[in-house]
Amino acid sequence: MNKNFIPLPPYPRTALGFMPEYLDFSKGIRVGNLEDNQRITRILKLALEARYRQPFVTERYGRGVYWKWIGFLPRANREAKPISSAVSFGCSKFFLTIDTERRLFKCGFSVERGFEQVPPDFPKAELKPDWDWHRLLAALMPGSAMARELKRLVVREGFIIEVGSGWDDIGYFDKNTFPDMLELKRLLRSAPPDDWAGFQVYYPMREDEVQNSSGVDLVESMMAIFGEATPAMNLCMQIRLEAY
C-alpha cells in the first residue's frame, strides 16, 4: 500500500458500461470512441488501484479504436528499479489480450525478457540486471513457492502457462502437461537471445463464453483472475501487492 496515494473509487456494478462485444475476436479489444465507464482500461485501472491502494501504469500494444494487448503494472515496482525505472518492459504486469488466431480471450500476468541481443530500433527492450525476469527464473525451483502457486493456478484453477519467443510459442502447458520447474526454467533460458521472449500465465475464455457473459460478469472475472494471479506475480516483483 502507498500511504500517500488516495485512489479514486472504482465504478459500481450499476455504472459499468462495458459490453462483451468490446472484446472483438477479429479486431482486438475496443478502447476507442467509448465513455470512461465503458472503456476497460479505465474500469480496470480504477479497480486495481482501489484494491491494492497503489497507482498503476497502463501499457498497451496497438493503436486506434482496437488494441491487441493491454497491461497494468504497479508503478512502485517500476520505480524500485535502479537501472530501469524509466521503462516498463522489465516489470511484471497484469494483462489482457485477444488471440485472434485461436479465438481466445486471455487474462492473467506476464513477465517479459525482451532481448538479450537488442536490435538497434528497440534499445529500451534490452534485458537489464534489475528486470523481473531474473526473479522469475530464480523462483522456478522444485518445491518452491512459485512451483506451488503455478501448480495451483494451472492444475486446480485452469490457467495456462505459455512461453513465447518472437512471434512463436515455444512452450504451452495446461493441467495435463504441467511442467517440472527446472524444465520450465530451461525452456525460458533457451529462447534465442536476438528474439523477444516472455512468460505468461493466463486464464483462457472462448469466444462463445465471452459472448454469453454480461459486461459486468466479464469485468468481475478479469478482476478475479488478477486476484488469483497476484501471489505468483508477487514472487517476481520488488514490491508486494496486498488487497485491501
CB 18 within 8 A of CB 90: no
- Which three cell numbers, joined as nine digits, stand for 127? 534485458
Q: Indicate whether 242 pLDDT > 80.
A: yes
Tell me the pairing of strands 28-30 and 23-24.
Answer: antiparallel
Give dist(CA 214, CA 225) in Å, integer. Answer: 16
Give residue-wise pLDDT tens across range 65-85. Answer: 999 999 999 999 999 999 999
What pLDDT, on a 0 to 100 scale, did the predictor assign at position 129?
Answer: 98
Q: Indicate whether 3 pLDDT > 80.
A: no
Residue 63 parent element (H or E): strand 56-63
Give dist(CA 96, CA 79) in Å, integer. Answer: 23
Start-to-end C-alpha separation, the chain: 9
pTM of the model: 0.96
- Amino acid 111 reads V
Average confidence score pLDDT of the chain: 96
Q: Which residues contact 123 (CB under 8 A, 6 or more apart)?
A: none
What pLDDT, on a 0 to 100 scale, did the predictor assign at position 167?
Answer: 65
Give dist(CA 125, CA 197) in Å, integer. Answer: 10
Residue 30 parent element (H or E): strand 28-30
Kindly tell me the number of DSSP H helices and DSSP E strands found in the chain.
7, 9
- Which three cell numbers, joined as nine digits, stand for 203? 486464464
- φ, ψ of residue 154 to 5 degrees: the values are -80, -50
- Which three cell numbers, joined as nine digits, stand for 239? 514490491
CATH code: domain 13-234 is 3.30.930
What pLDDT, on a 0 to 100 scale, did the predictor assign at position 170?
Answer: 84
Q: What is the share, in percent, of the chain residues with pLDDT greater than 90? A: 93
What pLDDT, on a 0 to 100 scale, did the predictor assign at position 173?
Answer: 97
What pLDDT, on a 0 to 100 scale, did the predictor assign at position 168?
Answer: 74
Give the single-character DSSP code of 36.
T
Give residue-wise pLDDT tens across range 103-128. Answer: 999 999 999 999 999 999 889 999 99
Give dist(CA 195, CA 218) in Å, integer. Answer: 33
Q: Indicate whether 134 pLDDT > 90.
A: yes
Closest CA to 71 of 102, 25, 33, 29: 29
Give residue-wise pLDDT tens across range 11-57. Answer: 999 999 999 999 999 999 999 999 999 999 999 999 999 999 999 99
Please, which pLDDT band fits residue 153 given cuts at 50, 70 and 90? very high
Give residue-wise pLDDT tens across range 189-224. Answer: 999 999 999 999 999 999 999 999 999 999 999 999
Q: Indicate whether 4 pLDDT > 90.
A: no
Give dist(CA 170, CA 161) in Å, integer. Answer: 11
